[in-house]
Chain A
Amino acid sequence: MGLTNTAPDLLPGTLDLLILRALVREPLHGYAIVQRLRVVSRDVVQVGEGSLYPALQRLLLKGWVRAEWGTSENNRRARYYTLTAAGKRHLAAERAEFERLVDGIARVLQEA
């Protein structure tokens, strides 16, 4: 991972999940994904480029997202990522799993 890009303290696999979730409503380019995650999480989730782009490549490789070139808001060529059907299925499955996990962690924390 990139040296100057601090990876967010996320559970393994969580970043993929967040990216997929960010793409549910519409195709986004890389910067917009970062913005979307930051805004929605109220600045809690700050994704560095060093984590984002390898993650996007991983998702492409797995066939969960598709990339297409389009024009961005500043009128430049940008790569837009779209959620695929397989991505949607994976998101649904992982999301349920994730909620179970978070629920579990919460229980542990409460009891302690």
Chain B
Amino acid sequence: MKLWRRLTRWWSARSHDAALTEELEHHRSLVQADLERGGLTAHDADVASRRAMGNLTLVREDARDVWVVAWVDRLRRNLRFGVRGLRREPTFAVSAMATLAIGVATTTTVFSVVDAELWKPLPYPDADQLVVVVSRADATGARVDGLSGADLLDWRRGAPAFQALASTGRYDRRVLQRETAESVLVQEVTANYFDTFGRRPMAGRPFTAEDARGRRAVMFTDRGWRRVFGTDVVETGVTVDRVTIDGESFDVAGVVRADDTLGPDPDLFLTIDEGRAAFLDRATPMGFGAIGRLAPGATADVARAQVQAVVAATASPDSPMRQPGHAVLVASLVGWYGRGDARPLYFFLGASFIVLLLTAVNVAALLVGRAQRRSREFALRGALGGGQRALTGQLLTEAVLLAMPGGSLGLLLSVWALGALATAMPPGVLFRGTQIPIDLRMAVFAIGVTTLTAAVFVLMPLATARRVFLAGALGAGGRAGAGVAEGRARVRLLVAQMALTVVLLAGAGLFLRSYVGLAHVPLGFDPSDAFSVSATLSGPRYDTEAGLRDYAAAARDAALAIPGVRVAAVGSSSPLRSGPVVNYARAGEPAPAEGQASRAILRAVTPGFFDGFGMPIVRGRAFTAADGTGAPRVAIVNETLAEQAFGTTEVIGRVIDLLPNARAPWTRHPGPLRIVGVVPNVKEVGLNEVDFADIFVPFDQMPAPWIELVARVARPRAGVGEALRRAMAAIDPSLPVGQVVPLDARVDDAMREDRFNTLVVVAFAALAVLLAAVGVYGSVAYAMEARQREFGVRLAMGATPRRLILGALARAARLGLVSAVIGLACTLIVARLMGNALYLVPGSHNGLLYGVETTDPATLGAAFAAIVALAVAAAFVPALRCGRLDPVSALRKE
């Protein structure tokens, strides 16, 4: 009875009730007047009249119930009628609901992801106060100067607009020494890092000011804790007081919940010693910038001005912060971290809205078709005195009957999809962690749009129904429905649908072509039959260059000792893994201003490295064992560097100057390098990238603590990977060794994001094709059915079935052609609007599309042909059915 009470309450809210009350009071006043005429005093009459009337509320409720009962009754009747109608046409009901579900699910899912990624506030208390403070070296903000600890301290002192300014230091792998050596990801942070964000430890104590000076402390993430100690810290509490990392002992402060909002959290955080010399050295950058929390009421502009003033007052004349073009940037944290490539997300959002539009159109087309089938029913009801209002009510109920289950199913799908996405998305697509809540606003919007469409198109026949009443529909021998207006509406919807599908097909075609192009892009190295395994050398043994050299040599020898390994070499980094960037200049030229110098990836490699990666030496020679510590310093450069620096690849014997550079502290040996060889360009970050300039130096002349062993093997290669790993681990058992990765897996990995993008876009296009096919099929099937009589006559008059079928197909093809032309026009407009937003642009490393124009004729042509083929194919079955018509039964049917 809860529903009943709700209904009555709803009803009583209406003016209706007030009218009844007034009416009853009037009635009572007349009773009172009567009584007064009978000799009672006014007061007695009043009391008596009230007693005579009894319980007025009850009267009012009884009177009101009359209406509510009728309303509920009507609703129940409409529902029953609606359900019965839908059950009579299960194909219609299922396709309409499924269509709705697809539209709602797609839009809601994609919007939820985009919202979580781009627009939602960060999950920190008062997140709008959080800003990033960087000093940038050029106007685009693409290049950022490093920030030293001394700068940070100055800013803290001189910029009261900040409640707190924190910064981060190195993020790397280190060794946590327990019974076994554990490789852990470590992030150095200032002690106030967690306070600035408002993150509280879930166990243990927060970092304090003492942790910033002298005492160094470690904060585990719950994830890191579980990995290292295998226990759940919430149950056990902090059970370890001190840990040893890279031979240094740290106080365990506590455990925070891992938070991947701004990129993956490490296993543990270390405090930066804010008293140590390296921190206070203005020339040694610590991190890219600072994270600040604005004081209440302070604006980013005020903060920026304060920091700028501090820089002007304190920075030394040769500091990069004094260079022309330098400026301080205070950006909202959410904007800064949202700067990851948001283009695919916007693209997906656009595509999902097209899908929503398509579903709406499809539902509309389905409903119009159904209305046509039912025009005889409507006419009959009209003739029997059924009012327009009753019919409207019933039709709207039917719209809701379709929309609600469809919408709910869509929501369920969306919840499921978001869960699946969280696990299936490749890294780099989702920036803000993996927990995406479903966006209910969007769900309501999507369901609203589809319901509204359903409502509008469910009511459309009413407008035309009057014309059809009696005269046509019921007239002797008259054909059912075939209202001209509805027929035209159907065709228009169909064309709109197919045109939208062309847009999505063209998009999918572009991504597919681009993907195929990427798969064939020259890598610059040969990834087949080669493995790589990496290790980071840390600990006292590797504090000297000799230690690094010894390890590299040992690793090489160990690998070469494995049967089947033909070539083995060590590099400090390798293709598709990028590497530290250094500045260089042509020898003999004045050092360029900081920030203006040419940049290149510097890579220290042992002899055999180029063989190992299958990189041909274009000119000159490879490194040999002779390029050792005492030998003249040499370098091999890639073609891009040669062209950039000298305008030619004939650069053997030329000299470049490696500039002292704060950005790569391991480059302890600046100075001139004689070029002895040239290699082709390799892909450094991704497959769709601007070419990088590379400098290779002999490992022995510039050893680095990053070891990347590459081994090229003779087939068969089974078991070699494991042998490699064991050989590496045997060199220094205290060092953790990474996974052995085949180089072709690395290439595969580099294509993962493109594969994902392509997959999503193709999925959208497939949905669109499916929806359009359903639309065309339904439409043609209906048109055939409506013309059965005509076909019957024609067959009876001697037309061949073949002719009829061909005629029907030609009609469908014509529709397809018109749609394809409109669709292509739309595609070109969209392509024009997007310009080269999908391509590699300056400042970005990755384009979404590779090697294909947005107006690629082949792709557009394919989309064009596909839609015409789709129209004809979808029309085929119903057309065939028509050709098999028995003229006698067709004529008798109506």
Contacts and interface: CB of A to CB of B under 8 A. Distances in A.
A93 interface: no
A72 interface: yes
A30 interface: yes
B201 to A, nearest CB: 67
Interface in B15-73: 19-20, 22-24, 26-27, 29-31, 33, 53-56, 58-60, 62-67, 70
Which of B22, B33, B63: most chain A Cβ within 10 A? B63
B24 A53 contact: yes
Contacts of A50: 54-55, 58-59, 62
Given A61-B66, A72-B26, A53 B20 contact: yes
A31 B54 contact: no
B46 to A, nearest CB: 14
A58 B58 CA distance: 16
B435 to A, nearest CB: 54
A5 to B, nearest CB: 5
Nearest to B31: A31
Interface string A25-52: 0000111001000000000000011100
Contacts of B64: 57
A16 to B, nearest CB: 12
Nearest to B20: A53
Q: Which of A31, A48, A72, A76 has its CB near the most chain B CB atoms (within 10 A)?
A: A31
Contacts of A49: 24, 27, 53-54, 56, 59
Interface in A69-111: 72, 74, 76-79
Interface string A54-72: 1011100100000000001
A5 B54 contact: yes
A61 B71 CA distance: 10
Interface residues of B, number: 25
B477 to A, nearest CB: 35
A12 interface: no
A53 B26 contact: no
Interface in B760-803: none
A31 B55 CA distance: 17
A2 B65 CA distance: 12
B55 A2 contact: yes
A53 B29 contact: no
B68 to A, nearest CB: 10
A79 B65 contact: no
B27 A2 contact: no
A74 B186 CA distance: 91
A4 B54 contact: yes
A49 B65 CA distance: 15
A58 B59 CA distance: 13
B18 to A, nearest CB: 12
A31 B27 contact: yes
A3 interface: yes
A1 interface: yes
B809 to A, nearest CB: 53
A19 to B, nearest CB: 13
A53 B59 contact: yes
Nearest to A30: B27
Point out which of B24, B26, B56, B64 has the most chain A C-beta atoms below 10 A from its C-beta.
B26
A112 to B, nearest CB: 37
Contacts of B66: 54, 57-58, 61
Contact of A79 (B19, B33, B54, B58): B19
Contacts of A57: 63-64, 66-67
Nearest to B56: A49
A43 to B, nearest CB: 14
Contact of A2 (B33, B54, B67): B54
Given A31-B31, A50-B54, A1 B26 contact: no
A1 B29 CA distance: 22
A76 B55 contact: no
A31 B53 CA distance: 11
Interface string A1-25: 1111100000000000000000000
A31 B54 CA distance: 15
A61 B70 contact: yes
A56 B22 CA distance: 15
A2 B23 contact: no
23 contacts: A2-B58, A4-B54, A30-B23, A30-B24, A30-B26, A31-B31, A48-B54, A49-B24, A49-B27, A50-B54, A50-B55, A50-B62, A53-B24, A53-B60, A53-B63, A54-B65, A56-B63, A57-B64, A57-B67, A61-B67, A72-B30, A79-B22, A79-B26
Given A4-B55, A53-B20, A54-B66, 9 more contacts: A2-B55, A5-B54, A30-B24, A30-B27, A31-B31, A57-B64, A61-B70, A74-B29, A77-B26
Nearest 9 A/B pairs, CB to CB: A4-B54, A57-B66, A31-B30, A53-B63, A54-B62, A54-B63, A31-B27, A57-B63, A2-B58
